Structure 1
C-alpha cells in the first residue's frame, strides 16, 4: 500500500510582527506574478523602492495588534487544523490514514521543503489541499506553479494531486451556515448579513479567472441553506490594493451604504478564509467595525472563520476521503 500524505497549504505569514519580517514576507508574496500582474522591471523597482518601505511598518503594526502569544494566528490555526485532521483521519482509516502536514505558498514551511521532507519519509502519494475554497489564479494558481517547478526538476516525479476548489461542497456550505446560526444563537441575529470575500483585480476575472463566479456560488448556497430573503444579505470584496479596479462592491463601501440607509446592525463573515488572519482579525473585526460604528452603526458582529472547528475538520476529512479513497 502506498504511503500517502495530505498537505494543507495556506498563503503564509511573517515570522514575527516586525518591520523586517513583514518586509521579507511582502517581498516574497508581492514578487509573484500570479499575485501582481505588472511589467516585471517596473514592478521590481516599485516594490523594493516604494511599496515595501512604505507598507512594512504599517503592516507590522497591524500584525502586532492581532499576534497571539503562540505566534501568528494563521500559523497557529493551521497547526490546529493539521492536528485535528490527522486525528479525524486516523479514527476513520486507522493504518490507511495519510500523514497530515502543512505548507505555505510564501514563507515557511515552503511547499518545496515540505514535499522534500515527505519524500525522505518514503511518502509516495500526495494530496495538496489549498485552504482557499474558491479558486483564483492568484492563490491556488500559485500553488500549481510551485508544484510544476518541482515536477520539472524531479527525476522521479511524485504522485501529486490537487483539490482545485471546494467552494460549493455541501459539507463546506453546511459549516458556514452552522457557524452563522451559532452566532445568531449566541449574539442575536442582526439586520443584515454581509459575506465579505478577499478581492482580486477585476481584470483577472475579465481574463477568465473563475473566482467571482465561485464566490457568488458560495454566497448563494449559504443564503439558500439559511433560507434568507434577497434583501437579508449581500456579498462584497475586501483587501483591495493599488490603483486598479477590483471586484465590487467593496466591503467598506457596502457597510457605508447600509449605515447611511439606516441599517444599525450587521453580521459579517468571510467565506474566502478558512483560518483567521490579518485580513479577518484586523481588517474585518477591527478596522471595518470602527468604520461602521463611526458612520452610525450600533452593532457589528464578526463571525470567525471555520478554523479548527469540529464540523470543518470533518468536512476536510470528507474532502480527503473523496480524493484519496473513493
Structure 2
C-alpha cells in the first residue's frame, strides 16, 4: 500500500544525523523570455500571500489580462540585466551560500548540509528539502534572505517549507528565522557599504533608503514590515551619524492601482530637485542580493526620473550581496541557531 507520507527506506536510520541549513530567496525566471516569465509570474502572482484580492476575481485578472501582457515586457527588462552566468539574483545567492557554507563548515565539518532554494522557480524549496532528507537531516534551520519580515516574502517562504514538511513521515525539528532587520552585524554591514560609497564618490545631498513596497492594506492589517524598515533606517543612519535632513526612507516597485506604502521612491526622486536636492545616493536595504528591482528599477529607471527632473548626480549603492561582512553576519545568525539545535 502506498503511503501518503514521504519516508525513506530503513537505511536512513543508520545515517549520521545532520543539521540542515536552507537559505531561501524570492526567485527568478529560468531565462529572460516571455515563456519563462509567464511560468514564473503565474506561480508568483498566484500566491495568496502576495495578492490578497478574492481568489476568483484575481484569477480572472491574472490569467485574462496580466499573463497575456506582462511577460513580454518583463522579459525585456530581465534581458537588460542578464549575465553570462544567468540571473544576477541566482548567481549572487549561490555565491552567498558558498561563502556562508565555507565559514560554517570550518567549525562544523561534515555535520551540516547547506543549500539555497527559491520560493518561486528553481531550485525549488521542496526539492532542496528532499535532498536534505536523503542526507539524513533531522534538524532544519531556514533563513529567508529578507532582512525585514513581511507576509508576502518571509511568511510565504514559511508556507512553502511547512507545506512540504507536512508530507513527510519524519518531520525534522524546525528553526525558522523570521528576520534580522535590527541585527547588529547586518546593520554594521549596511553602514560599511554606505560609508565606503561615500568615501569613493563623495557624500550626497541626501541618502535615499528605498525599500520594496507593499499595499498599505497589509500594514493596516498588522504586517510589521513598514515598522521594521524604518527601524533599519534609524539604526543605520545612527551608526553613520547622519543628520535627519540627510536621509529619507521611501518605498518602490508598486503594482496595480491600490495605495501602497509611502512615500513612493519614484515620486520622491522626481520632487527632490525642486527642493534643491541635486545629488542623491540610493540603497535598498530590503534586498540581500541585487535583482531586477535594483539593477533595472533603481540603477536606470529611477535615475532617469531624477535627472529629467533637474537632478545632477545620482548613484546606486549595491545590495550587500556576497560581501564578506554580509556573509559573516548571516553566518553568525545561523550559528546561533546551530547551537540551539545542538541543545535539543
Fold in common (TM above 0.5)? yes
Q: C-alpha distance in 2, partners of 1:69/1:154?
A: 38
Larger radius of gyration: 2
Q: C-alpha distance in 1, partners of 2:68/2:108?
A: 51
1:3-58 deviation line (CA, Å, top 9, x unaligned): 11211100000000001101110000000000000111111111011011111111
Does the Cα contact within 8 Å between 2:113 and 2:132 map onto a contact in 1?
A: no
1:251-273 deviation line (CA, Å, top 9, x unaligned): 01111121221211101000000
Residue 122 of structure 1 aligns with which residue? 136
| 1:89 Cα offset (Å) | 1.1
Q: C-alpha distance in 2, partners of 1:168/1:181?
A: 18
Q: C-alpha distance in 2, partners of 1:67/1:22?
A: 13
Residue 201 of structure 1 aligns with which residue? 215
1:164-193 deviation line (CA, Å, top 9, x unaligned): 000000000000000000101111111100
User: Which one of 92, 99, 108 corresponds to residue 77 of structure 1?
Assistant: 92
Residue 186 of structure 1 aligns with which residue? 200
Does the Cα contact within 8 Å between 2:271 and 2:309 map onto a contact in 1?
A: no
Alignment of 1:14-163 (within 5 A): 14-91=29-106, 93-95=107-109, 98-163=112-177
Does the Cα contact within 8 Å between 1:238 and 1:251 map onto a contact in 2?
A: yes
1:184-238 deviation line (CA, Å, top 9, x unaligned): 1111111100000000100001000000010011011001000111100000000
Residue 231 of structure 2 aligns with which residue? 217
User: Which one of 5, 21, 28 corresponds to residue 6 of structure 1?
Assistant: 21
1:125-156 deviation line (CA, Å, top 9, x unaligned): 11110000000111111011112212332221
| 1:97 Cα offset (Å) | 5.4
Q: C-alpha distance in 2, partners of 1:151/1:122?
A: 14
User: Which one of 251, 254, 258 corresponds to residue 265 of structure 2?
Assistant: 251
Does the Cα contact within 8 Å between 2:99 and 2:322 map onto a contact in 1?
A: yes
Q: C-alpha distance in 1, partners of 2:297/2:162?
A: 33
Alignment of 1:233-248 (within 5 A): 233-248=247-262
Does the Cα contact within 8 Å between 2:99 and 2:327 map onto a contact in 1?
A: yes
Q: C-alpha distance in 2, partners of 1:96/1:64?
A: 39
Residue 296 of structure 1 aligns with which residue? 310
RMSD: 1.1
Does the Cα contact within 8 Å between 1:256 and 1:292 map onto a contact in 2?
A: yes
Does the Cα contact within 8 Å between 1:289 and 1:300 map onto a contact in 2?
A: yes
Q: C-alpha distance in 2, partners of 1:169/1:95?
A: 26
Aligned residue pairs total 325
Q: C-alpha distance in 1, partners of 2:111/2:284?
A: 31
| 1:2 Cα offset (Å) | 3.9
| 1:312 Cα offset (Å) | 0.6
